[in-house]
């Protein structure tokens, strides 16, 4: 069991947002070591590379390499599909990246740290443990 963060949280941490840092430290203390989703890495790298800074992207890649990465495997895809279907059923729209991250967190038994209240509300229905701030 560990902590997975979504893209908005990782950008806040990279920016040195004090609340995000406090929440991630607290979540790691309570729920275990951090894991990085490959989806989050993708979105963060797109954001950095779009600024035209390949060197900064490489630097970020090497920083991310310190953490265990969750890739989307068949079990994650299955849980993500369950999440998607449940959200369709309850009429709560969540983006595809967030659905996949939720699937990864569910599959690995991790806690998802997010700022997305929509995802947090949906979490109750899908059995995902979410820490929202």
Partner 1 sequence: MRAGRTVLVESWSANRTTRDPANVGFSARWRETTAGSGTPPKLRGLPGRSVDRLRSAGIKFLNTLIHIHRCMVSKTISLEQSAYEKLRAAKRTNESFSDVVTRILAPNRPSLAALAGFLTPSEAKEVRATIRKVRQQDEAMESARLARWREPHGRRRRQ
Q: Using CB under 8 A as the criterion, which residues of the chain lie in contact with partner 1 when the complex forms?
A: 3, 5, 7-8, 10-16, 21, 24-25, 28, 32-34, 36, 43-44, 46-48, 50-51, 59-60, 63, 66-68, 95-97
Residue 23 or 76: which CB sits closer to partner 1?
Answer: 23
Cβ contact 70:38 at 8 Å = yes
3 state DSSP class of 117: helix
Residue 51 or 89: which CB sits closer to partner 1?
Answer: 51
Residue 11 or 120: which CB sits closer to partner 1?
Answer: 11
Q: How far apart are CA 80 and CA 72, in angstroms?
A: 9
């Amino acid at each position: 069991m560990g902590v997975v963060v979504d893209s908005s949280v990782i950008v806040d941490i990279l920016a040195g947002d004090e609340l995000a840092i406090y929440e991630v430290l607290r979540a790691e203390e309570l729920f275990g070591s951090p894991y990085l989703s490959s989806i989050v890495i993708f979105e963060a790298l797109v954001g950095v590379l779009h600024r035209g800074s390949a060197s900064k992207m490489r630097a970020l890649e090497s920083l991310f390499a310190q953490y265990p990465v969750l890739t989307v495997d068949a079990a994650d895809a299955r849980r993500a599909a369950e999440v998607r279907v449940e959200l369709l059923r309850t009429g709560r729209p969540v983006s595809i990246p967030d659905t996949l991250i939720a699937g990864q967190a569910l599959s690995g038994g991790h806690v998802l740290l997010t700022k997305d209240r929509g995802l947090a509300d949906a979490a109750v229905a899908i059995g995902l443990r979410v820490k929202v701030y």
